[in-house]
Structures are given as C-alpha cells and as structure tokens.
C-alpha cells in the first residue's frame, strides 16, 4: 500500500509550487517550514518537478524602470491561412531570435483561445523598438497576421507573485 495517494502527492506539490512562485530564491528549509514538510521531502519534490519539466526554470523579477527598459504586450489575430510547417519557426524560438535582432527580449510567447490568437510579452528600450519588432513580425509572417496590437505597461503592481515595493508611485498617474 502506498504511503501517499496521488491526490495527496498532487496537493503537496502544489503547496511547494505556490511557495516557489512567491519566491523561488527561498531556502528549502523555509519552504519546508511553511509547508510543514521535512527538508528532504521538499528537496525530493522540487527535484522531481524539475526532472518532469513541471518547473521549467527560475527567474528574477526586475524593476524595469531602474534599468531603463519598458514592458510590452503584443496581441495578434491570425488570418485563416493555415500555418503548416511555419509553426516550427514559432516553436523553435525563432521569434526570440527576431526579437534579439531588433533589441527586444521576448519573455512570454503564448498561443491563446479567445479574441486574439497569440500573445507576446517582451521588454524593449522604447516604443520604437516595440514597433520595429511588430514590423519585422508582420514582414516575416504577413500572410498569417490579420491584426497586431501593442500595449505598453505603465506601472506594474504585481509581477510573478511579487508585489511592487514602490506602490505609492502609482498615485502619480492619477
């Protein structure tokens, strides 16, 4: 008879994932204490989640204003033209390469269900670079793109479970 049911294992994994999403730099000891698990159990679960690719990686949450970059969201509507083999260009991260060529760092590349079909979250020095990225994408994939909208982030209140330590600055916008 197994020590833990699949349901219990899933619940334990979710607790640990929640803590890692709040602060991936947190020590295993602190995560274990918050979840009421042993240090070894937390380490084993994290290792298993990394091995089975539930955890893809870790990253820092950065104040873009301090490094003089801005965040953008690009929403795309597709045409009815089938993508076919060109999907490989999207899957194989060539969009990130296109971004690098124009000074844009593509952080999120997602296929969507809803009004829009694709979304990119990226950083750039300014709106000119963001527009240049849009132009290059339009040129490269023109027969697949019906519409592109670029949104500029004005003030992030929360990113990746981290609350902006400068929330009072938001008042300057009102």
pLDDT digits (tens, 9 = 90+) for 140-166: 888 999 999 999 999 999 998 888 999
| Predicted local confidence at residue 79, as pLDDT | 94
Nearest to 138 by CA among 62, 74, 59, 55: 74
The pLDDT of 122-150, averaged and rounded, is: 94
- 53 pLDDT band, cuts 50/70/90, is very high
**Is residue 101 predicted with pLDDT exceeding 60?**
yes
- Tokens 């990226």 found at: 122
> d(Cα 154, Cα 10) in Å, to the nearest integer?
37
**Is residue 1 predicted with pLDDT exceeding 60?**
no
The pLDDT of 13-39, averaged and rounded, is: 92
Domains of the chain, CATH where assigned: 6-51 (1.10.10), 64-154 (3.30.70.920)
The pLDDT of 118-137, averaged and rounded, is: 95
> d(Cα 120, Cα 107) in Å, to the nearest integer?
7
Nearest to 136 by CA among 169, 102, 91, 89: 102
> d(Cα 150, Cα 128) in Å, to the nearest integer?
11
Least confident of 4-8, 104-108, 134-138: 4-8
Q: Where are the alpha helices (DSSP H) in the chain?
A: 6-22, 28-35, 39-51, 87-91, 94-101, 127-140
| Predicted local confidence at residue 58, as pLDDT | 87
> d(Cα 27, Cα 152) in Å, to the nearest integer?
34
**Is residue 72 predicted with pLDDT exceeding 90?**
yes
């Amino acid at each position: 008879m197994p020590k833990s049911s699949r349901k219990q294992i899933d619940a334990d994994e979710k607790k640990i994932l929640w803590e890692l999403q709040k602060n991936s730099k947190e020590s295993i000891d602190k995560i274990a204490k918050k979840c009421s698990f042993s240090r070894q159990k937390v380490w084993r679960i994290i290792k298993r989640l990394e091995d089975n690719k539930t955890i893809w990686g870790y990253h820092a949450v950065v104040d873009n204003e301090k490094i003089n970059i801005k965040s953008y969201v690009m929403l795309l509507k597709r045409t009815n033209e089938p993508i076919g083999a060109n999907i490989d260009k999207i899957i194989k991260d060539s969009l990130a390469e296109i971004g690098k060529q124009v000074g844009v760092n593509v952080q999120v590349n997602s296929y969507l269900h809803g009004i829009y079909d694709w979304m990119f979250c990226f950083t750039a020095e300014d709106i000119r670079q963001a527009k240049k990225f849009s132009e290059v994408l339009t040129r490269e994939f023109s027969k697949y793109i019906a519409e592109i909208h670029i949104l500029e982030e004005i003030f992030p209140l929360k990113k990746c479970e981290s609350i902006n330590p400068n929330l009072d600055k938001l008042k300057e916008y009102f």
